[in-house]
């Protein structure tokens, strides 16, 4: 299935300067970078923000495309995240980071773009220094031709930084 045809996957990091109240944005997308390189590129972008107050950083994943395609991606992300959460809840010895890293490595051999994206987001959600709370936002054109699904990575469920979006 060519569920990825016409879909753009993007990671954005926004950093707020408290002195000027300006927000600078950097990012990568699936046209600039191979998916297998996304975790490394994300880590590089996060390094540039080192020393910044975590409350002044907002990270966002965006999926741009037509509604049926973005729905495939969002469903796949929910499926993978639920798989990890269910394993954590049912098995006290479950090594979720090793499980995620193994699945992420296996995605490079597969051809399912939406599944690879789901494991990249799951890796970022669980395997960095913080456990992130995903907050979903959706923007749709009036004619329903283009949809943008965004997942903001907040530090808690009610995170005011997502208002920046």
Q: What is the pLDDT of residues 137-161, one digit of tens each?
A: 787 877 777 888 888 876 655 556 6
Residue 41's pLDDT band (cuts 50, 70, 90): very high
Residue 29's pLDDT band (cuts 50, 70, 90): very high
Q: Are the CB atoms for 144 and 67 separated by under 8 Å?
A: yes
Q: What is the pLDDT of residues 92-129, one digit of tens each?
A: 899 999 999 999 889 878 878 899 999 999 998 887 76
pLDDT greater at residue 49 or residue 6:
49
pLDDT score recorded for residue 1: 37
What predicted TM-score, i.e. pTM, was given to this entire model?
Answer: 0.84
Which residues neighbour 23 within 8 Å (Cβ) at sequence distance 6 or greater? 14, 15, 16, 17, 164
3-class secondary structure, 82 = helix
In sequence order, what E strands does the chain have? Answer: 8-16, 23-29, 57-65, 133-140, 147-154
């Amino acid at each position: 299935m060519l569920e990825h045809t016409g879909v753009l996957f993007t990671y954005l990091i926004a950093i707020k300067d408290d002195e000027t109240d300006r927000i600078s944005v950097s990012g990568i997308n699936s046209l600039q970078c191979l998916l297998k390189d996304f975790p490394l590129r994300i880590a590089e972008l996060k390094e540039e923000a080192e020393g910044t107050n975590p409350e002044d950083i907002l990270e966002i994943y965006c999926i741009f495309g037509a509604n049926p395609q973005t729905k495939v991606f969002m469903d796949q992300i929910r499926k993978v995240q639920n798989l990890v959460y269910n394993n954590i809840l049912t098995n006290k010895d479950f090594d979720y980071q090793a499980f995620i890293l193994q699945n992420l490595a296996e995605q490079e051999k597969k051809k399912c773009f939406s599944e690879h994206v789901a494991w990249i987001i799951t890796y970022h959600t669980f395997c960095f220094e913080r456990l992130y709370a995903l907050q979903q936002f959706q923007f749709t054109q009036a004619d329903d031709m283009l949809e943008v699904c965004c997942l903001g990575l907040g530090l808690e469920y009610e995170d005011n930084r997502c208002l920046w979006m």
